[in-house]
Copies of this chain bind each other. A is one copy, B any other.
Amino acid sequence: MKGEGEASGVPEAAGIPEAAGIPEAAGKPEAAGKPEASGIPEAGGRAKPKIQLELSLNQATVQNLSLDDAVALCVRHEITGIGLWRHRVAEAGLARSAAAVRAAGLHVSSLCRGGFFTHADPDARAAALADNREAIATAAELGADVLILVSGGLVPGSRDIGLARRLIADAIGDLVPDAERAGVRLGIEALHPMFCSDRCVISTLGEAIDLALEFPADVVGVVVDTYHVWWDVRLPTEIARAAERIFSFQLADWILPLPADVLLGRGHVGDGVIDFPAIAGAVASAGYTGHIEVEIFNERIWDDPADSTAATVKDRFRRVLG
């Protein structure tokens, strides 16, 4: 029987040629010549702002490497930035980790991560705050550009999404003085709506911005992760609105089919359907000049040799955004 799974129009998940562009015959005459209603500058257009092409490798992309090995990998591939994860930092020791990235001359573009604020139990909420304060101290010691916050899903046992959102706002408010004192910026990350129930009720960049705007501009901002927000018709508008609140810009591609564990379905830049030049152009136009992180959760990529992964990351970054 014909079900929803058999619709026409499913594009190939990967391998869209770089120059695929707009099929000539696709629009009506009056539509084909029109500029994008979205306001995203066209890749290669005259008004395209210069994108700072400073690549950072988020160490989740090479999940199996220790901090020292990830640092050495970046040096070997002349990648100037690294995004760090707390469990890897803890494993290596905080002081040693800070010394290692400094000695390697690497810029720490982010620390992953804080958040997970949505607990019904006051003790659990207090524990989350304590954990986030520790993360702030770690980010300060590492000189990270931003501590990334994955805010948390629905409160267990509750369907009240508004409650979860209030708990997140309250928790960030509690952390702002700590972050300010430590000189650490907090980046609220919008996660794809398919993670709304269990990981993060902040599902759009617009929602993340609205939340960030409740706090000082030099302390609380947002993370733009292409994987999570590419689908949003409001994305260009929201990126422009975010302006100096964009504290981190992360890349991963949307590929099909989604794997059994949707956390691990991200693809190398260029293997999927995301229009990276358009989004990167909007982010640059908004004034973002920081490192651009590639952060890919994908078990098959984790099984690849790390040097091969780093080479692909660098090559795609240059080919797709250069």
Contacts and interface: CB of A to CB of B under 8 A. Distances in A.
Nearest to A65: B1
A103 interface: no
Contact of A198 (B16, B198, B206, B256): B256
B21 A160 contact: yes
Nearest to A120: B23
A166 B176 CA distance: 43
Contact of A9 (B119, B230, B231): B119
Interface string A263-274: 110000000111
30 contacts: A3-B63, A3-B263, A3-B297, A4-B199, A5-B263, A5-B264, A9-B155, A9-B198, A10-B153, A11-B156, A12-B156, A16-B157, A16-B158, A17-B157, A20-B157, A23-B121, A23-B155, A23-B157, A26-B120, A27-B163, A27-B167, A37-B162, A37-B166, A154-B273, A159-B275, A161-B233, A161-B275, A194-B194, A204-B233, A206-B234
A139 to B, nearest CB: 18
Given A23-B155, A26-B158, A159-B274, 19 more contacts: A1-B63, A2-B87, A3-B63, A4-B60, A7-B116, A9-B119, A9-B198, A11-B155, A12-B157, A17-B157, A37-B165, A38-B162, A192-B193, A192-B194, A193-B194, A193-B231, A196-B230, A204-B232, A207-B233
Contacts of A37: 162, 165-166
A64 B1 CA distance: 8
Contacts of A197: 11, 231, 254, 256, 272-273
A260 interface: yes
Nearest to A38: B162
B20 A159 contact: yes
Interface of A is mostly: loop
A87 B6 CA distance: 12
A160 B201 CA distance: 28
Contacts of A122: 25
B167 A273 contact: no
Nearest to A30: B170
Assign chain A's interface to a size class.
35 or more
A262 interface: yes
A31 interface: yes
A53 interface: no
Interface in A221-270: 230-234, 254, 256-264
**A12, A34, A159, A160 interface centre (most CB from chain B within 10 Å):** A159
A234 B275 CA distance: 25
A231 B256 contact: no
A63 B3 CA distance: 8
Given A25-B121, A118-B9, A192-B194, A201 B156 contact: no
A203 interface: yes
A40 interface: yes
